Each structure stands twice: as C-alpha cells, then as structure tokens.
Amino acid sequence: MKKHHRPRRESPLATGKLSVGASVEVEVERIVPGGAGLAYADGYTFFVTLAAPGDRVRARVERVRGKVAFATVAEIITPSPARVEPPCPYFGRCGGCDFQQLTYEAQLQAKVEIIRDCLRRIARRDPPAEITITPSPAVWRYRSRARWQHDPVRQFLGYYELASHRVCDVAECPVVLPEVQAGLSRLRATLADGEFDETEEFQAVAGDDGVSLLPPLAEEDARERFRDLAGERYRFDADCFFQINHALLEPLLAEALKDASGETALDLYCGVGLFTLPLARRFARVTAVEGNAAATRFAHLNLARAGLTNASVHTARVGEWLAAHARRLAPVDFLLLDPPRAGAEPEALAGILALRPRRIAYVSCDPATLARDLRALFDAGYTLDSLRAFDMFPQTHHVETVVHLTAAAVKT
C-alpha cells in the first residue's frame, strides 16, 4: 500500500525575504509601547496586534518595513497563561479595546513594562526599581465619555475599526457606563428613524446628574453636567475634555498635587480646571492655560462658582502663550501640565525650560510622548522625584502616569 506523505510547509522565511500575506510561526515575548506583542524570527522583528505575552501563534504579515514586520494573529497555536476569552463580540474588529485578551493582572503588568521601556529607550534613563500602578476599581463599565462615528451610507454607528476609518457598527459597548450605553441605544434608535443622516460624529459624557450628548437629541441632552470630586464641583459638557474614569480621579489628584503649595503655580492644558481649582486653594496666585475655548469657559465658571478669585484662565495654544507671557510669570514655584496624547508641543516645552519652574508635575496618558518630553527636562537639569501609574483605561494599552520633577538647583 502506497504511503501518503503530508507535504511539508516551507517557511516563508526560507528564501530570506518576507512578504505581505506570509504566515510565520512566532512566540510573543512581551507587550511593547503601542500594545502589540513583540516576537523575533530569522532576523525579523515582529509586532503582532492583539497578542498576549507567551502566546505561540501563526502570525499573518500585514506590512513589512526593512527587517520589521507588522502582523496579526492568524492562529493561536499555544495560548499564553495570560490569555482570556474577550467578552466583547466586536473585539478584533473594533479599534476601541486592544487588551481584552489579557487577564487584568497581565494588563497592569504590561502597562508597567511599557512605561519602563519608554523610559529606557526614549528618555534614556533607568526606570525606578519599582513602579506602582493603581488599578481601576471597575475594569468594565467605567468609561464616562465616548465618541461614536456615524456612517450615513450604511447607517452604522460605533467606533472605527482597528487601524482603519471604517465604522464598526456597535450596539453595546462593555466599557462605557450604563448611562452612556443608554445614550448610545437612544442614538441608534433615532438614526434608525432616518434622523441625523449627515452627522458623522456624536459625543457623550456622563456626570453625576446625567449624560450630555452632542449633537443633542433633546433639550435635556444639551445641558451641562457636573461631577463632585474631592470637595470641588466641576461642570462640563460633551464639547470639552474631562477625565473618563471618575473612580480614579481622587487618587490621581492627590498624587499630582501631593504637598504642593507656595506663591505661584502654572496649570498648562488645564481643561475645565480639574487641577486649577485645588491649586488655587494651595497657592497665592494661579495661572491656567488651555487651547479649547469650550473648556476654558467651564474653567472660568468652575472657579467663579467655587469663589476662587486668585486664578486666571487664558484661552490660547500653550506654546504660543508661554512664548508671549512666560517672562512676566517668573519665578514659578510649581508647574503642572496635563497635555493631550501627543504630549507638549515643542514651543510649550521650550517655554517651560525658559521659565524653569522649581517643581514640575507632569500628568500624561502616553508613556512614549512623556518619555520624549522627560528627556528634554532631564537634559535641562531636572531630576526625577517620583513616578506613579494609574489604570485609567482598562482593556486598552493606554495608561496614565504622574511624574514629579525638581530643578537641580533647588533639589534638597
């Protein structure tokens, strides 16, 4: 009887050249900044999306740049002990969450390692021996804010698909608060009736007193909302930024401000005044700067309703404002900056270095841009006092970090 031999699959790396569409067996070593899994095979470095550290997978190559391949998981050969079954039916298609495949403990560990990696490679500083990360009290149904994309042709409403601008139609999102989910359900019902055909984006934000929607479906949706926090009341609406994980805001505030007090403080990228209000209770004079006019309107309102008259708020791009006004502010005892994910723009960083505040608190939602800016501050003579992480964004690779720095001349 003739024996049939299973044909041997030749490795796509046998020729020494990797092409798009090739399938390669790799073992994922760890999660790197950006959330991908890192692996190596025959001289190539692989970045595998939606992987878990310890996975052995067949990775499909989506893009090749020199000796670097960007890939997706085509098949899980041996799953990592850190891997779990993602509960969301849109996982892998929706671009909103990229850590649902990990246990929560593995998520926290990966985020700490991402911070370490960025400090070593980008800031070129050895990270602290221990980095404490504060877990989120809720790992699902924590998100108080959402931005939904609308495809008026297909009548889809949801988030962008992974690495694309196609809309993933999402009926239920497991990371948003129940009241935000109710807003999504109302929007979907309204869109099904043919309203808002040309609207391409909707925003929702929850406060202690309900949800604000933009554009609104009813008069109630257009109302400002409030959040009571650490003895302050903050008002905002869907048109301006407010931190999304309210359960972690008090410890975040406490870490960012610590024992800061003195004569002058500067709050950059101040938003609606999350840090401005407590700073005004600790310092004789506070100056706040924010580029979003909707946010500064609320910052003025929040200060006024709190009866705080020793703080001024300016609507301007931070870098431009510092270039024009920094000299008259000196000396500054304490500077706090909480920039968007892109970090401080070069002009803002130059203004901070020219001003040379005695102490700096840097609140960041992106370890890579934080490390980039820290390198400039280290090179200018600032030293690291402390670093602490907060898991403001469970089920994603994003992490909030608070860093305290002191100018070398005043280091005690």
- CA dihedral sign of residues 211, 212, 213, 219: positive
Catalogue all structural domains in the chain, each as residue range(s) with its CATH number: 23-83 (2.40.50.140), 107-138+228-410 (3.40.50.150), 145-226 (2.40.50.1070)
Please say if 365 is a catalytic residue: yes
Q: Which two tokens stand for residue 9?
A: 């699959």
DSSP annotation of 11: P
Q: Residue 47, CB half-sphere, CA atoms under 13 Å: how many?
A: 13
> What separation in angstroms does the CA of 288 have from each of 90, 257, 282, 338?
40, 15, 14, 11
**Cβ within 8 Å of residue 4, ≥6 positions away:** none
Task: Work out whether the CA dihedral 233, 239, 242, 246 comes out positive or negative.
Answer: positive
Q: Give the closest residue to 273 by CA, choosing from 216, 226, 219, 206.
A: 226
Residues in contact with 238: Cβ distance below 8 Å, sequence separation at least 6, in sequence order: 145, 203, 204, 205, 212, 213, 214
What are the φ and ψ backbone dihedral angles of 132, each rounded to 5 degrees?
A: -85, 130
Catalytic annotation, pick one of 118, 168, 240, 365: 365
Give residue for tokens 């309204």.
190
Q: How far apart are the C-alpha atoms of 307 and 17, rounded to whole Å? A: 67
CA-to-CA distance for 15 and 100, rounded, in angstroms?
A: 36
Mean pLDDT by 10 residues, the chain (412 residues): 43 68 96 97 96 97 96 97 97 95 98 98 95 98 97 93 94 98 94 78 96 93 95 95 95 97 97 98 98 97 98 97 87 96 95 95 98 97 97 98 88 44
Question: Residue 263's Cα: distance from chain center in Å?
Answer: 32
User: Do residues 374 and 125 lie in contact, with contact meaning Cβ atoms separated by under 8 Å?
Assistant: yes
Helix axes 346-355, 318-329, angle to 10 degrees: 10
**Separation between Cα atoms, residue 371 and residue 116, nearest integer Å:** 10
Buried-exposed string 223-258: b where 16+ CB fall within 10 A, e elsewhere? bbbbbebeebebbbbbbbbbbbbbebbeebbebbbe
Q: What is the value of pTM for the model shown?
A: 0.93
Q: Is 387 left (phi over 0), alpha (psi -120 to 50) or beta?
A: beta
